[in-house]
Structure 1
Amino acid sequence: MDNTDRVAAGSAATLPAAPEPASDAAISDVEEQFTRLFNQVGTAMRDRAERIHPDLQPGGYKLLTTIVRSGPIHAGALAAMLYTDKSVISRQVKLLEDMGFIERKTDPTDRRASFIAATPEAIEKVDEVRAADQATLYRGLRRWGEEDVRRLAELLARLNEVTR
């Protein structure tokens, strides 16, 4: 064995072993947990919408929370942000407007266009619902160890990169 072979052999020994690929059974277990999680999220969205207004549907809640989070926004930008058709946005905006949760404001740079903005009442209600849900999440995750919570955040970040 010459010097180059020794260096190569020594370098290989210090590299960490590649992880074994995940088995289909393990991936299936993850898929099952996501199915359960998505079902819970769907139920929670209905509950949150109802806490805002008894006639508010989950899709309207999602739209409203996006408007509250983003601030005044054009309908086209909202459609792009939510990966949906502008006609869906128009229908939901009309419903939210009728409930008194959003208002249209003229765009000062283009008087033909308008921004969609949440009303103060909507912002207050969304913030209340969000705060209650956040408190529940924090209460639950505080029962875990710090390392587990950080590991969950790390794994979710990795998953977000994979699913882009």
Structure 2
Amino acid sequence: MAAVTVTGNAWDHTGSPIPAANRPELWFRPLANEVTGDALLAGVEAKATMNLTTGAFTVQLIAEPWIRYRPVLRWLINPLESNTEMWAWGYAEWDWTFNPFPDGGPIGELGGPDLSIFSVLVGLTYPPGYRGWWLYSPAEGEEMPLDDPDIGDLRIVS
């Protein structure tokens, strides 16, 4: 199994920096355990190396076609508490997953919505540059227009 590097910026997701005093951490959670041959690959989270000023991060992830990851950001809510047993953590999970297979790279180029059974049936053969499928829908916060003929179209992400 090959490890690849994924890069990005955590503040792009949060919309604003989390102060370094709050000890933000970015973790990448695999969505499932897998069995390959005689081995069980346990889903273990990987912690990113993050610049607490800029939000830039780098993480090494296992890249296999079946492994998808969900980024999870955590930070201290009460950083002035001296008793570590009293620390409270805030969490933010990205609402999408991605697959770093085959080469890793910038997180914004590694996918979006998960594959559905519908997309698998439609895409039995993968074209060059294949990254995944998504169902066309309105942007977040917009209402779905009932007369838009493109709503529900399955489109390739490459």
* TM-score for the superposition, normalised by structure 2: 0.25
Point out the structure with the larger strand share.
Answer: 2
| Structure with the larger RCO, 1 or 2 (CA within 8 Å, 6+ apart) | 2
Which structure is larger by alpha-carbon Rg, 1 or 2?
Answer: 1
Point out the structure with the larger helix share.
Answer: 1
